[in-house]
Structure 1
Amino acid sequence: MTPTGKVYLIGAGPGDAELLTLRALRMLQSADAVVHDRLVSQDILDLAPAGVRMIPVGKAPKCHTVPQDRINEILAELAEQGLTVARLKGGDPLIFGRGSEEAAYLADRGLAVEYAPGITAAQGMAAATGIPLTHRGLATGVRYVTGHRAADQRLDLDWASLADTDTTLVVYMGAANISEIALNLMREGMPASLPVMAICAATTSQESRLISRLDQIGVDIRAQPMPAPVLFVIGRVVSLYQAGTGATGTAARRPAVAAGE
């Protein structure tokens, strides 16, 4: 009888291999098979053991070549063969990563799951750009929200709650809906001049940044589109940004605007 394997749900972080945790690296290097997303960098994939089975299951906007149901099945099938499976997910598997869905599927089948947390995109942005997520006098908290619904369903976020200038708002996967998001936030009282940063591929050599303001971000991102997924940081903390900060990426394309100007 083949012994049952296990699945490691590993956060690969925002892209820079140096931002992997020691736990994540240990799990990856002990794997028999690696099931990885599109956003996991090649530098991180190169850390897998030589000869290990590599299975790409990446998704792009409107292009899910491997549906989530099939990803769940692949993980279970490999573990049921007695393999140790590294499920590599960009960022953190429990922050908009569907890691909990995969874990529930595996648990229902009696398969062991262990986690390695990863640095989420918002934290990677902060480290790469120097924009803090909280800052005394500017932001007393931070909120992460998704800017995209499955099957392009309507966004039904609590706009009144989100329109809090004392809180930094980080919008994941929001490029397609950022104009609608900005409009709803302004309707609930957020100032039009509130600074916004759009960033993609944070911490990698492909990183790109754009500094705008709430009433302009929709226009600016259409004029200078970025590869998905794009992260948006909305709040007064963005006023602390200085172009050229960080070792990777491009300089800001629009000067930062302080809230209230």
Structure 2
Amino acid sequence: MSTRPTNLQRLDSVGERRCPGIVYLVGAGPGDPELLTLRAARLLTQADTVVYDHLVGDGILGLIRKEADLIYVGKEKSCHTLPQGEINALIVRLARQGKQVVRLKGGDPFIFGRGGEEAEVLADEDIPFEIVPGVTAASGVSSYAGIPLTHRDYAQSCVFATGHLKDDSLDLDWVNLAHPRQTVVIYMGLGALPEICRQLMAHGRAANIPAAVVEQGTTDKQRVVTGTLTTLPQLVAERKMKSPCLIIIGEVVALQEKLQWFHPDATASLGHAAIA
């Protein structure tokens, strides 16, 4: 039977703490607290310090033990409470103080969550760390919107991309993103939606391909707007949709009306997010 490495058992062995501490890079999922992994939920009840991002909801923060220190580091578009370099330095400093740190991120740490960058710094500084995967927005939000990412009749592949690159450019691999019979999921792309649709059409994607934007997916504020590459930007503008949003492009979006199952108002009244 497999066991965790000794340096990852520190949070489980109460009273046997040694310096340095340890950092857990934890995925909080797309919003609904019930989508947390058991590992993530347990770590939140045991951490000394939780360093968390903008996309982590109140329902998840409510699971953190009262004695823990909470440090908000923002990470909204063009509005970062702390630059990434300072966040890296912060979690290293806390671990060297002997603390057991949960670095809590929306979605999954290794899917557009900068978890790879932070893990590199921890490794370079010889700080013990563990990665705790989370439900990424692509799978969680699409499921709650009633949009399957793959389907034998519509899409045999799925591609994840970000609409917000490190240098604020939008220099994506449009040729590959425009391939037929695939689903494209774009994170952090709401502000660039008109350009994204224009580029995909310019590189061969049909103008009438179904596309959707999902706002605050998996939460009681979820909104879904569907259209085509031609119509979607105007529909989103008319409804004044705001981040966080996920863009889904491909034939599978045509199934949304048929497969939608999550109705935020009705579900909330039944206590869907009662874990919070």
Q: Same fold (TM over 0.5)?
A: yes
Candidates 178, 193, 198, aligned match of 1:178? 193
2:214 corresponds in structure 1 to 199
2:138 corresponds in structure 1 to 122
C-alpha distance in 2, partners of 1:92/1:144?
A: 13
Q: Secondary structure at 1:34's aligned position in 2?
A: strand
The answer to whether the 8 Å contact 2:51/2:70 transfers is: yes
Candidates 108, 129, 150, aligned match of 2:124? 108
Q: Are 2:36 and 1:31 equivalent residues in the alignment? A: no
The answer to whether the 8 Å contact 2:150/2:183 transfers is: yes
Tell me how many residue pairs correspond in the alignment.
Answer: 249
User: CA offsets, 1:69-118, max 9 Å, x none?
Assistant: 11111101110000000000000000000001011111111101101100
Letter in 1 for 2:222: E
Task: Give runs of aligned pairs for residues 19-168 of structure 1, distance below 5 A.
Answer: 19-153=35-169, 155-168=170-183
Deviation at 1:126, TM superposition (A): 2.5
The answer to whether the 8 Å contact 2:146/2:259 transfers is: no
CA RMSD of aligned residues (A): 1.7
TM-score by length of 2: 0.86
Q: Secondary structure at 1:118's aligned position in 2?
A: coil
Letter in 2 for 1:149: L
TM-score by length of 1: 0.91
**Greater mean deviation of Cα atoms: 212-221 or 186-195:** 212-221
1:256 corresponds in structure 2 to none
C-alpha distance in 2, partners of 1:156/1:126?
A: 25
C-alpha distance in 2, partners of 1:123/1:158?
A: 22
Q: Secondary structure at 1:198's aligned position in 2?
A: strand
Q: Secondary structure at 1:86's aligned position in 2?
A: strand
**Greater mean deviation of Cα atoms: 78-87 or 44-53:** 44-53
Q: Secondary structure at 1:226's aligned position in 2?
A: coil
Structure 1 stretches of at least 4 aligned residues deviating more than 4 Å after TM superposition: none
Letter in 1 for 2:83: P
Q: Are 2:22 and 1:6 equivalent residues in the alignment? A: yes
Task: Give runs of aligned pairs for residues 215-230 of structure 1, distance below 5 A.
Answer: 215-230=230-245
C-alpha distance in 2, partners of 1:151/1:126?
A: 28
Letter in 1 for 2:137: A
1:209 corresponds in structure 2 to 224
Q: Secondary structure at 2:175's aligned position in 1?
A: helix
Q: Secondary structure at 2:248's aligned position in 1?
A: strand
Deviation at 1:26, TM superposition (A): 1.9
Unaligned runs of 5+ in 2: 1-17, 266-276
Deviation at 1:222, TM superposition (A): 2.0
C-alpha distance in 1, partners of 2:188/2:210?
A: 18
C-alpha distance in 2, partners of 1:248/1:88?
A: 27
C-alpha distance in 2, partners of 1:20/1:239?
A: 29
Q: Secondary structure at 2:233's aligned position in 1?
A: helix
**Greater mean deviation of Cα atoms: 13-22 or 218-227:** 218-227
The answer to whether the 8 Å contact 2:145/2:214 transfers is: no
C-alpha distance in 2, partners of 1:249/1:225?
A: 19
Deviation at 1:176, TM superposition (A): 1.2
Deviation at 1:243, TM superposition (A): 6.9
The answer to whether the 8 Å contact 2:31/2:56 transfers is: yes
User: CA offsets, 1:40-82, max 9 Å, x none?
Assistant: 0111111111221000111222111211111111101110000
